[in-house]
Structure 1
Amino acid sequence: MDLLYAFSSVPKELNFIDHTSDLGWKEHERFEKLIVDPSLYMDSNSELFPVTEPRQMPDAFKIFTGSPWVILTRNFTEHCVHGWDNLPRKLLMYFANTAYSMESYFQTVICNSSKFRNTTVNGDLRYFVWDDPPGLEPLTLDESHFGNMVNSSAAFARRFAEDSPVLKKIDEEILNHSSDCASLSGRRVMDVGSCSKWGDIDVLRPSRAGEQLRRFISEISQTRGCS
């Protein structure tokens, strides 16, 4: 309900995708180094292996990178599938030999497309906590992160340990799920009758968190485009 309410305040053509053209260390470590993924050609999964010969940075398009967590519109997703200007297919072939391509493919497609580049909102609406220096994965969230997570206005967060107490805290204090109902932490439904009551689905009654998320999404949606 809160998500529906929050997103109803912005145009439907917006794509929420964290992106930057400042590649930093990734230019050499990710894009100048070729990798081969045998899983693309074989039935079983196997480890990637690097190719010794490097490749030059492309000049036909500009590479962008960012978070692998994206919120994409149907129009842009169809563009990636059908590729009527051939760019999505060309980039699919390029990133097939790039490590962690999910952090660059959609960013590069949308920021090199004149039709969609101005539909980008630079954010993934997710809350992470990184170590210093950052590793490959964010830190596992616990109750000590609860306050900052709530105040961040993010719609999503990761990572959580299975059955972590902070999940129950989110259920009860943010999502207003009672301990008798199914929860994020996997609690079994005890009272089916009380947990299956519905109000008027055509009436949006957001919580305080929903109001906060709506303000945050409206604010970050004011700035669009790629640079």
Structure 2
Amino acid sequence: MLASHSRSKHKRVAFFFLFTFPLLTLFLLPFAINPIQTSNPNPNPNPRPPRLAYLITGGDARRLRRLLRALYHPLNFYVIQFGADTSENERVDLEAFLRAEELVRKYGNVRVVERGCHASNDGPTEVACMLHAVVILLREFKGWSWFLNLDISDYPLMPQDDILHIFSYLPRELNFIDHTSKIGSKEHERVRSLIVDPALYISNKSGVVWVKEKRNVPSSFKIFVGSPRMVLSRTFLEYCIRGWENLPRTLLLYYSNFVHSKESYIHTVICNSNQFQNTTINNDLRFMLDIKPPRQLFDAMADSGAPFVHGFNTDDHELDRIDRELLGGSMLDRQSFLSYKLPGLIRPTTMSKKMERLLLRLLEPENFRTKQCK
């Protein structure tokens, strides 16, 4: 009896430390970023920065080049994934650009997927393409902590040094993913409807086919939906790919006939996993451009604290201003990085304070636990 009580007590203690320590670490973020000064003449308050793994997708080599230049940092890793219908000239253009960049050759941290990924816009092949890129990152690059998926309509709003600086103080198991289980009117369209994605079977086909039959709402797991843009931990993605339990594989089969799978598969896996459902922050760290953006669009983006913006459909003049006033120019143009002896060295700017304030708002009690997998 006593032994059983002792085991139960130990389980409660283990549960408390497992889920409370990450939370305490996050709430101590402002103190970690602005540490109290001590008498130590050579304090070293900054932890070693993480390494980020980016998936960049698109078919326009010119816009891919611009996005990569804005995102590039020697510490990070990059996989570039073309669509299957991208012309050979676009691929040759991008590969020539990569060969010409001395910094890229020096660090060898950019890969171009050899075969374009054939995906239907509304089908599960988009999820398959993303998971394929994750496999490449896990296989070829060691030591990264977070995965970020961007396309040519995304753009950074602050230098990579600032993002790496702030992420240095975050627990490495956190996942930034916009999600909700309140799907409302979408239930009939998404959950009960069935589709067939020809791109799963035939390389020159695209566009999903709707099936007349309907299926029941699942009872063994709860459906979640949200933004297809996310920041996911390496630990969680290893769970999805290598799967030490059946949940990711079971849901992958279910979502093979699900419309807009990219807006639901990852969300449903993470929120139905006992191990990962308490690691989510309900935000994708993107500033979303409205159809009719505000008159002071640039100021709104710069002050948001979001590290990325989503919604640029053209090579807009606003991107030039972002480069000039927020990013301070491309990392690939700063040849001083070639002389760095320590690849872990980062140089954050005052932009990091804005991202810090955003995270603190997300971590307020009414925004954090209450919005996790609800």
How would you bin the TM-score normalised by the shorter chain? 0.7 to 0.9
The answer to whether the 8 A contact 1:35-1:51 is kept is yes
SS of 2:231's partner is coil
Length-normalised TM-score, structure 2: 0.51
Is 1:35 aligned to 2:195, yes or no? yes
* Aligned pairs (5 A) from 1:161-172: 161-172=313-324
Unpaired stretches in structure 1, ≥5 consecutive residues: 132-138, 184-188
- Residue in structure 1 matched with residue 268 of structure 2 by the alignment: 108
Is 1:196 aligned to 2:356, yes or no? no
- Residue in structure 1 matched with residue 359 of structure 2 by the alignment: 217
The answer to whether the 8 A contact 1:154-1:213 is kept is yes
Length-normalised TM-score, structure 1: 0.83
> What letter matches 1:59 in structure 2?
S
- Residue in structure 2 matched with residue 125 of structure 1 by the alignment: 285
Moved more, 63-72 or 211-220: 211-220
CA RMSD of aligned residues (A): 2.2
The answer to whether the 8 A contact 2:289-2:312 is kept is no
Is 1:149 aligned to 2:294, yes or no? no
Structure in which a larger fraction of residues adopt strand? 2
Cα distance change of structure 1 residues 49 and 130 upon mapping to structure 2, 3 Å threshold? farther
CA distance in 2, matches of 1:153, 1:45: 41
**Among 204, 211, 219, which residue is 1:44 paired with?**
204
Pairwise CA distance, 1:45: 2.7
**Among 238, 256, 259, which residue is 1:96 paired with?**
256
Pairwise CA distance, 1:201: 5.2
Pairwise CA distance, 1:56: 1.1
> What letter matches 1:159 in structure 2?
G
Cα distance change of structure 1 residues 212 and 205 upon mapping to structure 2, 3 Å threshold? same
Report runs of 4+ in structure 1 exceeding 6 Å deviation.
none
Q: Report which of the two structures shows the higher radius of gyration computed on alpha carbons.
A: 2
Structure in which a larger fraction of residues adopt helix? 2
Aligned sequence identity (%): 43
Unpaired stretches in structure 2, ≥5 consecutive residues: 1-160
SS of 2:218's partner is coil
**Among 197, 201, 205, which residue is 2:347 paired with?**
205
Pairwise CA distance, 1:142: 9.5
Is 1:21 aligned to 2:163, yes or no? no
Number of paired residues?
A: 206
